[in-house]
Amino acid sequence: DYTAFDEVLACADVISLHCPLNDATKHLINKDTLAKMTKKPLLINVARGGIVDSQALTDAIHSEQILGYGSDVFEQEPIAEDDPLLSLGEHPRVVFSPHNAWGSKSAQETLWKMLSKQVSDFINQAQ
């Protein structure tokens, strides 16, 4: 069974975003969807920055419409100098981290193995 999106927004304590950025998800979290978050959840975005409308989120944090926000992504990366999220940099209910969720030791080892194999295959193909 699936729960309707609006129902999730209304009853969730934590909303964690893990979806691709496309036409259907661009600004999925916006002024209207934030208004439906009646339990004032913690919002986490480790997907893509464009899924969240930066200005609407900034307004929601300042008005205490949501409990807090954590993210390692921004609408534009590197973050634009005029991004409203920059005003939240020292906010006690906001946590930003570098966009490096992929950077586990295991992921880096896999990356280097794949890269080494591709270089080796390229060299062997040229001979």
pLDDT digit of tens for each residue in the chain (127 aa)? 899 999 999 999 999 999 999 999 999 999 999 999 999 999 999 999 999 999 999 999 999 999 999 999 999 888 889 999 999 988 999 999 877 666 778 877 888 888 898 888 888 887 6
- Whether 28 and 86 map to the same domain: the answer is yes
Q: Are residues 88 and 64 in the same domain?
A: yes
77 is catalytic: yes
pTM of the model: 0.78
Q: Which residues contact residue 99 at a Cβ distance below 8 angstroms, ignoring those fewer than 6 apart? A: 72, 73, 74, 77
DSSP bridge partners of 69: 43, 94
Per-residue model confidence (pLDDT) at position 39: 95
Say whether both 110 and 57 belong to one domain. Answer: no
The confidence score (pLDDT) of residue 117 equals 87
Q: Is residue 48 annotated as a catalytic residue, yes or no?
A: yes
My answer on whether 75 and 110 are in the same domain is: no
Q: Of the residues 77, 90, 91, 109, which is catalytic?
A: 77
Q: Do 38 and 82 reside in the same domain of the chain? A: yes
CB 55 within 8 A of CB 80: no
**CA of 53: how far to CAs of 20, 27, 34, 46, 75, in Å?**
15, 5, 10, 14, 8
Quote the pLDDT of residue 27: 98
Task: Please confirm, yes or no, whether 27 is among the known catalytic residues.
Answer: no
> 39 and 85 share a domain?
yes
Element (H, E) at 11: helix 5-11
Same domain, 11 and 60: yes
| Predicted local confidence at residue 106, as pLDDT | 82
Q: How far apart are CA 108 and CA 105, in angstroms?
A: 5
Give me the pLDDT at residue 101, please. Answer: 62
Residue 98: the pLDDT is 78
What is the total count of domains within the chain? 2
Give the pLDDT score at 109: 85
pLDDT at 73: 92
CATH of the domain at 35: 3.40.50.720
Q: Residues 92, 106: one domain? A: no
Residue 125 belongs to domain spanning: 102-127
Is the domain of 121 the same as that of 83? no
Asked if residue 16 lies in contact with residue 46, where contact means CB atoms within 8 angstroms, the answer is: yes
Q: Are residues 106 and 51 in the same domain?
A: no
